[in-house]
Structure 1
Amino acid sequence: MTILIPVGRLWSVKVLPRSSPLLTRLLSTNSNRRVSASEPGRTVSARPQCSSAAPPTLFQQKELSEGAKKRKEAAERTELKKQALLSGAPKALPDNAWRVFFVERGPKKGEALDKSGSRTKATALEYRTISAEERERLNHTANENKGQNEAAYKEWVQSHTPLQIKQANHARDLLRQDGKKNGKKASYPHIKDERLVKLPHNQFSLFLKDRFESGDLKGLSIAEAGRAVAREWKDLSPAEKRAYNERFAADRSRYQEEYKTVYGIDPPSFNSSSASASP
C-alpha cells in the first residue's frame, strides 16, 4: 500500500506491505481519531442543550387550571346533551287554528323571512276576519295535526327504553341547573313517558291528598290550605298516623318492584328520613 508519511515539513512516499506493523499502527490511529463535522459521510452527535424556558408562574398555573376546568365542563355538557336526547324528536305540526292559518299564509320555500314583522301583523289582521267555515276547516286540520303529533311523539319515545328516558330526564334537569347557574334561560322539559315508574308518596303527601279530595279545603288559598293541613297532621294520634305509615310502606314496595321490572336495575335505597312525614 502506498502512503504519505510526513518528514519534517516535507512528505515522503512509502510503499508498505499489508503486513507491515507501521501500516497497522497508522490505520488504527486513523480510525480512533476524533471525527470532524466537515468530513463527508460523517455525522457528529449534537450535545444535549438544556431548556432555557422558565417554569410557569402561579398565575399561569391558575390560568391553565381554569382552562382545563372549562374544557372539562364543556365536555360534560356535551355528554349530557347526548344523554338528554335533545335531537331526534319529531317536529310538531301546527296544532291550533291560528298556527295552521299562519303556516299556510307564511313565506313559501325559497322566500325571504319577514324580519320586520309586517307580514305577521297583516296575517293576524286577516285571521280576525275569516269566515266561520274557514275557522271550522282550520280547527279540523289542527285536530288532525294534534293526533299525528301525539302518535309520532309516542313512537319516538317508545323507540327508547324506559331507563334511557329516565336518564334523559335526569340529564335535562342537570342541564337546566347548569344554565341557571350560568345565567342562561334554557328550557329542557321532561320527556313524557307513561312507562316511567311513579315515585312513592310519603305519609304526609297521602294525608294532604286525602284532605284536598275531601272538599273541606274548598275556597282556601294554597298557602292557607297547606297551613291548615299541617296543623291537622300534627294533631293526629299515633294510631291515625299508623294507617298512613302502612299506606306509605305499601306504595314504597310497589315502587321498588316496578323499578326493577321496568328499568332492569335495583331501585335506590330509602333512608330513614323518607319514612318520616313531618311537613
Structure 2
Amino acid sequence: MSLTGDDLEDLVDEVFEDLDEHAELVDERLEGIPEGETMPGLEDMRLHDAKEFRLGIVFIDINDFTEYTSDNPEKDVLFMLNVFIPKAMELVREMGGAFEKNTGDGILAYFGAEDDDETVAEDVLIFYALIQILLHCGVNPTLERYDVEPISISAAAALGTAYISRIGIHSLNRRTAVSTTANVASKLEDLAGTNQYYVNQGIYEKSDTEDGLGSMLEEVGGLNGYRWGSDFSGWTSPSRYYEFPNIGLDLYKEATS
C-alpha cells in the first residue's frame, strides 16, 4: 500500500473526526465505576465500561521462546503451543479463574472477583502448584513422546485492586485489567527466570504462611517504584516480592505413590 500526502491527511481526518464525541462517551461510562461481584464475560460489558475488583492477576510465560522458535521446526513449535496453552487455559477455567488473553508464548488470567483476599491468595498458589504438575508430569512427557523439545515456564502474580474494562472498537476489543496490580505482575514476570514463580507482597500477606502453601514462600527482595498496602493499613515501600518453589513434580510423585 502506498501512502500519499493526501491519503495521510484523509486517514488522520477520519480517525480524528469523532474523537471528542468518543472521549465524551468514555467519560460518561467511567463515571462512578461500580464494584464487581462476578467477573463479567466480554459479551456482558459495553465498550468502555469498567468494574472494580480485588483480583489475583497471573502471568504465565514460556521461557526463552525466541530461542525455542529458532532451534525447532515451526511445526514442532506449533505443536507445543497447541498442547500447552489450551491445557493451561483449561486449568484456569477449572479453578474458577478468568482468562484474558493468549500472548503467543504465555497467558494472562485473573483469580478472584467473588472471593476474599485470603481465598484469592491461596487460589493463586494452588494454581502455581497445579500448573507445575501439568507442565512436568503432563505436557513435557507428551512433547517428548512426539520428539518435540520440552519447555520450561516462569510465572508472576499480584493481588490488589484492578479495573476491568472492555477496551477497543466494535470489531476489535477485549477485556483488559488496568491497575498497578497488573503492572506489578508484569514487572515480576520480567524478573522471573527459568522455572521461577514470583508473587507480590499482597499474596504473601494474605496467604496462610503458617500451615498453607504460603509457608513455602521465600522473600526475594524489593520491587523499587511500587508499594503495597493502603493509606489505612500503612504503605510498604518498596513492595516486597516472594518466590514459590518449583515443587510440582514432587507433589505429583507424593500424590501418586
Higher-strand-fraction structure: 2
**Higher Rg of the two aligned structures:** 1
Q: TM (normalized to structure 2)?
A: 0.26
RCO comparison, higher one (Cα < 8 Å, 6+): 2
Q: TM (normalized to structure 1)?
A: 0.25
Higher-helix-fraction structure: 1
